Structure 1
Amino acid sequence: MNAPLSARPRSRRPLRRAQLSDEVAGHLRTAIMSGTLRPGTFIRLDETAAELGVSITPVREALLKLRGEGMVQLEPHRGHVVLPLTRQDIDDIFWLQATIAKELAAAATMRITDVEIEELDHINAALATAVVAGDAENIASLEFSFHRVFNQASRRIKLAWFLLNAARYMPAQVFAADPHWGAATVDNHRQLIAALRR
């Protein structure tokens, strides 16, 4: 018989470690997808742990996740090596994101509220300011916020979660540093907001 959650002893440590390994996996995933960690590069547990200021355990757990995603491979007696991304891998990632995003957008246009549209407008104004300032970190954060609000307006939360998981393979930081991408994105958002207001 399972004990109710309230009767189980509480332990914050495993939850914190799981979150830490997710953060380490996210850092390594971004480095791989951005080309900072090139195919054939070995990821050393001790060096990565020291660089990130964590113990070896969350790095090991993160590498297990990345192995499951096909981003690294364990070489016996040598460690984890970054695997190459094929053109098909990239095509598949973009196809999946586009397919899910299309469904969410169709649902969001039918269900979005005026309050959510105003929130999108506010976020896009802040994004335009960040683009002019060339603040890539803020651009990435605001771009995420814009799409989070729009996708949640679909009221299809599980589908939005799948898109979030697919999107982590193409980190926004890769695009956020490109001023042409930023300006085009702000303009695309303005057009979307105008269409939603009709």
Structure 2
Amino acid sequence: MRPSATSSQSPAGAERSAPAQRLRRRPQLSEEVATHLREQIMTAAIRPGDYVRMDETAERLGVSVTPVREALLTLRGEGMVNLAPHRGYIVAELSRTDVDDLFWLQGEIAVKLALRTADAITTEQITDLERHNQQLRDALELGDGEQVAIAEFQFHRAHNLVAAGGKLAWFLLSATRYTPSQLYATDPEWGKVAVDSHAKLIEAYRVGDRDQIVEQTRRQFTDGATRLTRHLETTGIWDDQQ
């Protein structure tokens, strides 16, 4: 699960949620701000009903108001924030169904890509996937969340390139932008599941076990949904729904 950490999402835009973080000035700055805010919304660091103040957000991230405004317009188009006239942007509701749907969609696309990969993968590409999984294992042993996110992204990028499904990979990337990659990258238990699932997926490619390919692909997204749901439950954002 990025990256999700279970996906092909690039960690380059996956910003940490620490308030003191300062974003570098780059042409895609508004995209980085949007990614940062998505991470905070999806982990309830910013809760449904909270206002996102442009000036406060800009100051905290060390940017001008312009990229923050552009980011909020993007998030409004995605339904993550709503605009209250004369009051500003408010974080939209995030339900259990929303979380389930996001991971279901990711899983369905990923399974289709995995089965295409099964039909095309070579011995050399299997070896390449093993190398990426070892890099993930090494990053986890070092406790380096940034490198974990990078290694996870590189594994799934290499995997999805084998399938040659450019449009499907793009849809998967679009879906996984809502996956809070840093939540997973800093969770050692998630890392153990990811490495084990990758290893079993690679072996399934080696022996041509399509059932196991589907099972291990779905496993990563099921695990990701469970972990995010469990985290959100601890924040209390759904207490009034029980």
Matches within 5 A, 1:3-152: 19-152=28-161
| 1:29-78: CA deviation from partner (whole Å, max 9, x where unpaired) | 11111221111211111111112222111111110110011110111222
User: % of aligned pairs identical?
Assistant: 55
Distance 2:147 2:126 in 1: 21
Q: What amino acid sits opposite 1:24 in the alignment?
A: V
1:194 and 2:203 aligned: yes
Q: What amino acid sits opposite 1:114 in the alignment?
A: T
What are the ranges of 5 or more consecutive residues in structure 1 without an aligned counterpart? 1-15
Q: What amino acid sits opposite 1:111 in the alignment?
A: A
TM-score normalized by structure 2? 0.72
| 1:160 aligned partner | 169
What are the ranges of 5 or more consecutive residues in structure 2 without an aligned counterpart? 1-24, 208-242
Aligned partners of 1:130 and 1:136 also within 8 Å: yes
Deviates more, 1:23-32 or 1:114-123: 114-123
| 1:73-122: CA deviation from partner (whole Å, max 9, x where unpaired) | 11122211111201111111011101101100000111123332222111
Distance 2:93 2:145 in 1: 26
Supply the RMSD in Å over aligned alpha carbons: 1.5
Paired positions, count: 183
Identify the structure with bigger relative contact order (alpha carbons < 8 Å, sequence gap 6+).
2
Distance 1:19 1:74 in 2: 23
Aligned partners of 1:17 and 1:58 also within 8 Å: no
TM-score normalized by structure 1? 0.87
Distance 1:17 1:61 in 2: 14
Residues 81, 90 of structure 1: alpha-carbon distance in 2 compared, 3 angstrom cutoff: same
| 1:8 aligned partner | none
Residues 17, 57 of structure 1: alpha-carbon distance in 2 compared, 3 angstrom cutoff: farther
Aligned partners of 1:120 and 1:149 also within 8 Å: yes
Q: Which runs of 4+ in 1 moved over 4 A?
A: none
Residues 113, 187 of structure 1: alpha-carbon distance in 2 compared, 3 angstrom cutoff: same
Aligned partners of 1:108 and 1:151 also within 8 Å: yes
Q: Highest Rg: 1 or 2?
A: 1
**Secondary structure at the residue paired with 1:153?**
helix
Aligned partners of 1:70 and 1:83 also within 8 Å: yes
Distance 1:81 1:17 in 2: 26
